[in-house]
Amino acid sequence: MSSAAVPWYNERAVSQKRSVVLTKWLQQRPGAIGRSGIEPVRMLQAPARRAYAAAQVNRLTQGWSTTSASANTDIHRALDAVRARSRSLSQNDEYVRKWLALVDTNVVGPDGFRLQGRVYGADRQPDRLANDAIEAGIARWSEAGVCDVTGRHSRTDLEHIGIKQVARDGEYLFRWIRGAEAGNAFGLALQALDVDRLDTNLNRPADQGRNAIRMGVELNRYGRPVAYHLRSAHPGDLYQQAQGGQVGVVERVPAEDILHDFIADRPEQVRGMPWAHAAMPRLNNIGGYEEAAVIAARVGASKMGFFTTPEGDNAPVVTGTEVDGAGNAVPVMDADPGTFQTLPQGVEFTPFNPDYPAAMYADFVKANLRGVASGLLVAYHSLANDLEGVSFSSIRSGTLEDRDMWMLIQRWFSQSFLRRVHAEVLRVGLAFGLFVMPNGSALPLAKIDKFRPHTWQGRRWEWVDPRADIEADVAAIDAGLKSPQSVAAKLGMDYEDLLQEIKQAEDMRKAAGVVLPDRHAKAQLQQPAAPAAKPKSKSEDET
């Protein structure tokens, strides 16, 4: 019977009993020293296993770190290097360039985020006049040359800049410019800044009543940013250095004048890391591997070779010379298609034909790109432009998963960036009387709390299977499981605006005297008629 089958089995007790028996046996042996010189023999217990295999330290895990630092410590050590490499990949790596385009196109889209006012009256009905006035006023501020202090960008352009910056650099950075310097009627404009303006090495502890500074961000005792310490110029700006500019000067800017955020992965995190940090080592290896493969393929396609002789003293077979970088004349031989050279006696030609690229080249690159796509949180077929062997069901599954991720990022970006933009522009616009209703009266600043409710609608996409998806939504609406508002929002539209557009279209059609066929009646006519009832027999009537 095994020890596991005995309920009273105790491994420690059995081990101690064996030690006592072994000690008595040694004491009774002939020639043994005095009993006082015999020390008890103890059996070594097997080392206890850790509760988690991932915590074991052995030859297979010796390079695996077992120490844990704070999020800010890890970021401080790696941020500048990772951000520089992320920017290098965005400039030179085609896959990272495609990924940034996917982020920009799917999160912001061609038309940017759409503001939808949600102001309601006392009767809980939409206050259309207030909503239209606020939407029109913020639309005027959002125009190109108004919202941007440089006069070049619109609000949608700043959205594109911000989302690409946060994906590439890990965080975005904007500054509010107020007063006459803003250059518009609102007295308010945004300035897009490079995140390198925040000095990663500017740190100090909280002491003597001063706030702590972590990587250029000044924090109160609870970790809330109260100020940002910005460099006067970008540290890599050669023009400032050549002109003797004060690049090292740091300006303390209050937090209310800065828009800075990132997607936090850990609590108490102060700065953000580039989103591609997990995939960057593999991307660098793929780039180096492809470069080596291309060079090897070019060498193999050249079909080069060597002329050899038994003694090695014959003159080389040449048709001319070329001058190398050191100014030396190097003998060369031209090879024309369909022509053959006659070799001198004793000279042999040894071809050099490297067999490359190898047959596993495509599989190796594809396997690595799948890992890169996982690290970038996108579908492989979208990143690699590889639709080979992709079925409709698999591409639908990957597309829907990607869209959930894009909507998650849209929600974060609208709450992080656009919500603060709306709050600031609304306050300034109400204070200056710039939100005007059709009768000419301005919305009052005293009711700012009433005018704050709103939503930012991000872009949406066409259905993967339009007919099936639309029929499913219509069936859900008829069954009371969905509302028309939710279906319209899934299409990137506001249901109230949609009803107004439908009404305007109907009014325009009636004014033009255009009569369209009733689609519902046409659908009923196209339905097959019900089969005629079978006449009953005499026996059935009697029954």
> What range does the domain containing 504 cover?
463-512
- Report the domain count for the chain: 2
Is 315 a domain residue?
A: no
- What integer is the mean pLDDT of 69-84? 94
- What integer is the mean pLDDT of 485-499? 76
pLDDT of res. 327: 72
Per-range mean pLDDT, top range of 141-145, 321-325, 468-472: 141-145
Is 21 a domain residue?
A: no
- What integer is the mean pLDDT of 247-260? 89
pLDDT of res. 356: 62
Per-range mean pLDDT, top range of 264-273, 466-475, 482-491, 508-517: 264-273
pLDDT of res. 389: 72
Per-range mean pLDDT, top range of 15-19, 45-49, 135-139, 396-400: 135-139
48 Cα distance to chain centroid = 43
Which pair of tokens denotes residue 29? 């042996």
192 and 108 fall within a common domain? yes
The mean of the pLDDT values for the chain is: 82
394 and 483 fall within a common domain? no
Is 389 a domain residue?
A: yes
- Nearest-angstrom CA–CA distance, 285 and 95: 13
Residue 218 predicted with pLDDT over 70: yes
454 and 493 fall within a common domain? no
Name the DSSP letter for residue 54: G
Tens-digit pLDDT profile for residues 87-122: 999 999 999 999 999 999 999 999 999 999 999 988
Q: Using only C-alpha atoms, what is the Rg of the chain?
A: 37
Higher pLDDT, 18 or 4: 18
137-147 exposure pattern, b = at least 16 Cβ within 10 A, e = fewer: bbebbbeeebb
- Nearest-angstrom CA–CA distance, 71 and 264: 10
Higher pLDDT, 302 or 244: 302
101 and 210 fall within a common domain? yes
Q: List, in order, residues 6 or more apart from 146 with CB less than 8 Å away.
A: 140, 184, 186, 189
pLDDT band at residue 223, thresholds of 50, 70 and 90? Answer: very high
pLDDT of res. 4: 47
Give the sign of the dihedral formed by CA 248, CA 249, CA 254, CA 260.
negative
Higher pLDDT, 290 or 191: 191
Tens-digit pLDDT profile for residues 454-473: 999 999 888 766 777 788 88
Residue 449 predicted with pLDDT over 70: yes
Is 312 a domain residue?
A: no
Is 533 a domain residue?
A: no
Stated pTM of the model? 0.75
pLDDT of res. 156: 96
**Which pairs from 159-162 meet CB under 8 Å and 24+ separation?**
159/108, 159/112, 159/113, 159/413, 159/417, 159/418, 160/104, 160/108, 160/112, 161/192, 162/192, 162/413, 162/417
Closest by CA to 78, choosing from 229, 272, 222, 246, is 272
